[in-house]
């Protein structure tokens, strides 16, 4: 068990590999290391942002933590207990504490179910309350996410994208969970609606003492909502740190390139010449040896292609790099 009592969830060398089918002449099937020995911590009541390019393993990591897909190896410690060792009954009980908000509010809601049926389903599964009590709980959570109880008997197609995502949030929170994976929870929404939903999620977090793992490719959104940020590249962690420090002074070259890609509203900031990444992302089927980023890194040296980068700590920050950038760069 971790010494820090503030840690709610911790992964230790968590991996998820996908193996393809055998090819012609029974060739060895390709293996994709979608999540590769990831170790991170999520503190109680915080929002940990998870960022990186598409295909880096963010969503796979979130689903592996929740056991929606089986892990290949490693541990997921929740309050110090490895939930990957739980049997079906114990994991079924644990799922009340672990929930997920999906990316697409259009496909994550069953179009044949009313709002009441969608939100009350978890209560019925866990046999919580009488029918009257369940209806009262659904009305209360619906009001908390900013929707009127008059919508209870309507179907998903009658709502806008923002309203559907509010319904999805209500469904995720009806069981009063402790830990919620937000998997690109606002990326399918318009910018104006996105701000409303983000504010709602913040308010619900404070009200219910929730802990979020917030997965997103939108760095501006993560900067707004996250307390700390974890940067991933090709299934591995590059850097973890407090949001403002990481955004202002990245220690890993890949993090710096991500930050340079954020559009700047201030024209004076735009005039500064920025380094941007070139080249294609290496294949996850055949990743580079050593540091996976070295083929795209302008600071790479010989050792970067031969040895995996060590874990270096700078106060409350962690970076996996042979040659971290200067802190005040």
Structure tokens at 43: 């503190």
- Span 307-329, mean pLDDT? 88
CA atoms within 13 A on the CB side of 57: 28
Which pLDDT does position 329 carry in this prediction? 41
Q: Rounded to whole angstroms, how far apart are CA atoms 304 and 300?
A: 6
Which pLDDT does position 98 carry in this prediction? 97
Is the domain defined by 7-19+31-249 classed in CATH 1.10.533.10? no
pLDDT digit string, tens, across residues 132-169: 999 999 999 999 999 999 999 999 999 999 999 999 99
pLDDT digit string, tens, across residues 226-280: 999 999 999 999 999 999 999 999 999 999 999 988 876 666 655 455 666 666 7
pLDDT digit string, tens, across residues 72-117: 999 999 999 999 999 999 999 999 999 999 988 788 899 999 999 9
The domain limits of the chain are 7-19+31-249
Name the nearest CA neighbour of 95 among 182, 180, 205, 211.
180
Mean pLDDT of the chain: 91
DSSP per residue, 46-101: -EEEEE-STTSSHHHHHHHHTTSS--SEEEEEETTEEGGG--HHHHHHHTTTEEEE
Given a cut of 80, is residue 67 above it in pLDDT? yes
């Amino acid at each position: 068990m971790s010494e820090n009592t503030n840690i709610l969830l911790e992964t230790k060398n968590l991996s998820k590999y996908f193996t393809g089918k055998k090819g012609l002449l029974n060739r060895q099937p390709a293996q994709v290391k979608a999540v590769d020995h990831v170790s991170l911590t999520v503190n109680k009541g915080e929002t940990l942002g998870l960022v990186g390019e598409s295909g880096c393993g963010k969503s796979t990591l979130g689903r592996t933590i929740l056991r929606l897909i089986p892990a290949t190896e490693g541990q997921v410690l929740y309050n110090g207990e490895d939930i990957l060792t739980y049997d079906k009954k114990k994991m079924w009980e644990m799922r009340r504490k672990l929930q997920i908000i999906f990316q697409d509010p259009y496909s994550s809601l069953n179009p044949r179910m009313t709002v009441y049926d969608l939100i009350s389903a978890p209560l019925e599964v866990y046999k919580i309350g009488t029918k009257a009590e369940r209806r009262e709980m659904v009305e209360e959570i619906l009001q908390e996410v900013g929707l009127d109880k008059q919508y209870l008997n309507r179907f998903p197609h009658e709502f806008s994208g923002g309203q559907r995502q509010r319904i999805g949030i209500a469904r995720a929170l009806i069981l009063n969970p402790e830990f919620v994976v937000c998997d690109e929870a606002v990326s399918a929404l318009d910018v104006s609606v996105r701000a409303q939903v983000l504010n709602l999620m913040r308010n619900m977090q404070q009200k219910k003492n929730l802990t979020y793992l917030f997965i997103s490719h939108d760095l501006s959104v993560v900067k707004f909502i996250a307390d700390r940020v974890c940067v991933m590249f090709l299934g591995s962690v590059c850097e973890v740190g407090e949001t403002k420090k990481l955004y202002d002074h990245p220690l890993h070259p890949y993090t710096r390139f991500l930050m340079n890609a954020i559009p700047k509203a201030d024209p004076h900031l735009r005039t500064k010449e920025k380094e941007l990444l070139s080249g294609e992302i290496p294949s996850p089927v055949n990743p580079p040896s050593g540091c996976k980023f070295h083929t795209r890194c302008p600071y790479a040296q010989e050792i970067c292609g031969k040895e995996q980068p060590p874990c270096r700590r700078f106060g409350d920050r962690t970076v996996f790099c042979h040659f971290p950038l200067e802190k005040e760069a």
